[in-house]
Structure 1
Amino acid sequence: MKSFPAAFRLEPKAPPNLVEISLPGSKSYTNRALLLAALADGESTLTNALFSDDTERMVECLNALGIRVEADRAGKVLKVRGQGVPTVSPSEPLYCGNAGTAIRFLAPFCAFGPGEVILTGNERMRQRPIRDLLDGIRQVGGEAVDLEGTGCPPIRVKGGGLSGGLCRIEGSRSSQYFSALLLSAARMEQGLTLAVEGELVSKPYIDMTLSILERFGVYAANSEYRRLHVPPGQEPKAIDYEVEGDASAASYFLAAAAVTGKTVRVGPLPEDTCQGDRGFVRVLAEMGCGWRQVGDRVELTGGTLRGVEADLNAMSDTAQTLAVVALFAEGPTTIRNIANTRIKETDRIAALHQELEKLGAVVEEFPDGLRIHPKKVYTPAGIETYDDHRMAMSFAVAGSRI
């Protein structure tokens, strides 16, 4: 795995008037595709795949479970020899680092294996809740427990299969619990019906899961995000799959154009993508930027920015990026309905509050968001990233102006 320096120094530099960016593959789609390819029987080829900590953790774990994955980093290709189920019970715990999609998607998958599997991660992962997913696995006939009684990893999942049926999960904490069960649902004897308790967060990620299930030949129904149903008698098909560009990654380049007044063109990012983070373009347009769709690329030009009020529940991974853009707007920006980001790679609301104030901004923190009051002049500072790549990328945008 590639290593980086402990710190990067960023200084403002005038960018070209137009910058073209080819986006890496979507992390969310890459890890979903890896899991579905493992559940299929046969070889799948993933092109434009993302190679990152999260996807490499997934690849390592699948190999340890007996699913052969061949990686061509230079060509951005992953070849997966699916076995339908895990064929090996690893003697050592599977280490997922801080990869939320990896540990959550793998947990139900491991229940189809021949024996017991322990999944764990780094210090932050061992603080991230997973109890709702473990309860969901038990509701559909599996055995899964957290080993330290904290509701967080490490967890132990016993093999033997999942019967499926009705499963009720609270919707306000993480859509990944729902996606994890949906991805493995086709292998459940009775299929799966997920009943959402309360309001479901991050709905576009469910759309992404349902769309990629369809690509792999699995039908699923969505009843207004209240019930999600995968009928029995299906199985994923081995396919060739091209991963879309990452809309979350696009947000940083779009933000850089917004705060510098320049133009950026990013893609591939089709207009009909299910990725909710593409909606970040509309937020920047509301702030004063101009944009247009050019084929499968998004072109955005920065303008005079004004503060906005933004509900980012459907695209919470862009909250840090918007918070940095808000530093250079006229008037305050309020970001709400992102309480679920407190249990991501770090408590992102608290981390933003801390680091924005280092630069000199005035920040109000709420349970579900924050308000940023911009200033005319900021103070360069060392920014703590909390082992969260989105903190690093977002504050790199600030480095283009401060």
Structure 2
Amino acid sequence: MKNILNLKPIHKIKGSIFLPGSKSISNRVLLLSALAKGNTKLINLLNSDDINHMLNALKKLNIKFILSKSKTECLIIGNNGIFKPKKKLKLFLGNAGTVIRPLTAVLSLNSECDIILTGEPRMKERPIKHLVDSLKNGGAIINYLEKKNFPPIHIKGGFQGTKILEIEGSISSQFLTSLLIICPLIKQNTLINITNNLVSKPYIDITIKLMKIFGIHVENHNYQQFKISGQQNYISPGKYIIEGDASSASYFLSAAAIKGGTVKLNNINKNSIQGDIKYVNVLQKMGAIINYGKNYISCTKNTLKSINMDLNNIPDVAMTIAVTSLFAKGITTIKNIYNWRVKETDRLKAMSNELKKTGAKIITGYDYIIIYPPKQIKEVIIETYNDHRIAMCFSLLSLSNNSVSIINPNCTSKTYPNFFKDFKKISIYN
């Protein structure tokens, strides 16, 4: 029997939320701390499935750490260089792209590596070919164990690098992030050339900024070419506080914009290093009233209007915009979002299916979605496709005058286990 959560109609949104740590930052700093010289105390670490997959992998790779009872503080004992596990390993990494892709690169540095990386059925449908090809060009020995170009993969190390590496940019920024992380650790200097346009550029900014905090400099030439000096070491900053997750912020900001009251989100501000902070600008363009504080952002209701925008740089929160647009006046067009198709599910197909249930007219193409909002949003049952972001963004339908039922609400544990609890905290019912 399917687990279904019924969300009652919400009269008003009001209150404050302390945002959990950013997933993108949490998994990056866990890996960089493990590679670094010295110990690193991470504060406000996200406690979720994706982070647990990284922690479990690091533990099996002999990286020592002390995790607090709340799982939100972690002291990592730095390895001072590449990982050298003593035995054959098989690491199960769920559906965490921020784990499997960087670990594929990092483990390829070990010449005696004998490790299999695998995950959930959907992980076996998510592409890894372009990253593997680049690593092979630098000497890595990596084999596909089931379907060619997809996990599971068998890594036997051997990556020594080459003066020029090429990586496909249009599928996932995680491929480039993975190469950037390992290039300082090899002997020679590296030039990484991007083929086709790089998607999700703000995630590359996160990677480069975090590498800098750990003592590594990357030259970024207009996102087309990256230059990294070899023979470097990651150096622990000693302590790092992880800011609130900007992607998670989008649901609460939209809820306030649709049916506030005012919502105040603590542990994030306009100087966030996350690209998804740009969601605030999009919401403002739609008409929401935004205020910034020293370490918070607040949003207040206003009449919302449609947008026509390229949201390639913020694909995850573009989903929240799609649902928010059901409450806006006019036709919304979201463009340049092909990489929705290679995420936790085929999000372009899934979003189209679920948005249509509300009575909206939906048109989709290769890399766009056009949304004609319904006169009145219907009461619906949302299929989540085991995709955490679909569960969270469609919770906003409870801000219509109807309830909404969410199938498999526990899929939010991937990045935000307490999402529905926090959503209820700011909800006022009749």
1:266-299: CA deviation from partner (whole Å, max 9, x where unpaired)? 1322322221111111111111111121112111
**1:331-363 superposed Cα distances (whole Å, 9 cap, x missing partner):** 111111110110000011100000111122111
Q: What's 1:400 paired with?
A: 399
Contact 1:41 1:238 in 2 (8 A): yes
Which of the numbers 195, 206, 209 marks the counterpart of 1:208? 206
Which of 163, 180, 190 lines up with 1:165 in the alignment? 163
Distance 2:69 2:253 in 1: 26
Tell me, yes or no, if structure 1 residue 101 matches structure 2 residue 98.
yes
Structure 2 partner of 1:27: 23
Say whether the 8 Å CA contact 2:361–2:372 is kept in structure 1.
yes
**Conservation of the 8 A alpha-carbon contact between 1:51 and 1:73:** no
- Identify if the C-alpha distance between structure 1 residues 73 and 248 changes in structure 2 by more than 3 Å, giving closer, same or farther: farther
**Matched residue of 2:52: which SS?**
helix
Bigger Cα displacement from structure 2, 81-90 vs 27-36: 81-90
- Output aligned runs, 1:61-80, within 5 Å: 61-74=57-70, 76-80=72-76
User: Which moves more between the two structures, 309-318 or 160-169?
Assistant: 160-169
User: In structure 2, how many angstroms separate the alpha carbons of the residues matched to 1:216 and 1:174?
Assistant: 24
Other-structure match for 1:263: 262
What residue is the counterpart of 1:115 in the other structure? Answer: 113
Percentage identity across paired residues of the two chains: 39
Deviation at 1:13, TM superposition (A): 2.1
Superposed displacement of residue 69, structure 1 = 2.8
Decide whether the 8 Å contact of 1:349 with 1:365 is kept in 2. Answer: yes
Deviates more, 1:320-329 or 1:181-190: 181-190
Q: Which residue of 1 aligns with 2:407?
A: none
Deviation string 1:292-319 (CA, Å, 9 cap, x unpaired) is 2111211111211111112111111112
The answer to whether structure 1 residue 88 and structure 2 residue 90 are counterparts is: no
**Aligned to 2:222, which of 220, 224, 227?**
224
Contact 1:33 1:212 in 2 (8 A): yes
Range 327-336 or range 258-267, more displaced: 258-267
- Which residue of 1 is the match for residue 324 of structure 2? 325
What residue identity is the alignment partner of 1:364? I
In the alignment, the residues of structure 2 paired with residue 179 and residue 399 of structure 1 have an alpha-carbon distance, to the nearest angstrom, of: 37
SS in 2 for 1:295: coil
In 2: Cα distance, 1:140 partner to 1:38 partner: 23
Q: How far apart are 1:90 and its partner, in Å? A: 5.0
Q: Structure 1 residue runs of 4+, over 6 Å off?
A: none
Shift of 1:80: 1.4
Q: Secondary structure at the match of 1:262?
A: strand
The code of the aligned residue for 1:95 comes to F
Query: Partner residue of 2:277?
Result: 278
Give the TM-score taking structure 1 as reference length: 0.95
More relative contact order, 1 or 2 (CA 8 Å, 6+ apart)? 2
Provide the residue aligned with 2:253 in structure 1: 254
Contact 1:195 1:228 in 2 (8 A): yes
Gaps of 5+ in 1: none
Deviation at 1:7, TM superposition (A): 2.1
Distance 1:75 1:125 in 2: 25
Flag structure 2 segments of 5+ consecutive residues without an equivalent.
403-430
Q: What is the match of residue 37 of structure 1?
A: 33
Deviation at 1:92, TM superposition (A): 4.0
Deviation at 1:212, TM superposition (A): 0.1
Q: Are the counterparts in 1 of residues 45 and 73 from structure 2 also a CA contact under 8 Å?
A: yes
Q: Please state whether the residue corresponding to 1:59 is helix, strand or coil.
A: helix
Note if contact 2:257-2:301 (Cα within 8 Å) is conserved in structure 1: yes
Q: What's 1:138 paired with?
A: 136
**Cα drift, residue 226 of structure 1:** 0.9
Per the alignment, do residues 145 and 283 of structure 1 end up closer, same or farther by CA in structure 2, a change over 3 Å counting?
same
TM-score, normalised via structure 2 length: 0.89
Q: In structure 2, the residue corresponding to 1:357 is in which secondary structure?
A: helix
How far apart are the structure 2 equivalents of 1:368 and 1:88?
Answer: 42
Q: For 2:325, give the aligned amino acid.
A: A
Task: State how far apart, in whole Å, the 2-side matches of 1:391 and 1:193 are.
Answer: 38
In structure 2, the CA distance between the partners of 1:202 and 1:109, relative to structure 1 (3 Å rule), is: same
| CA RMSD, Structure 1 to Structure 2 (Å) | 1.5
Q: Distance in 2 between matches of 1:204 and 1:335?
A: 18
Q: Secondary structure at the match of 1:9?
A: strand
1:149-187 CA-to-partner distances (Å, cap 9, x unmatched) read 431100111134533531101111111000011112221
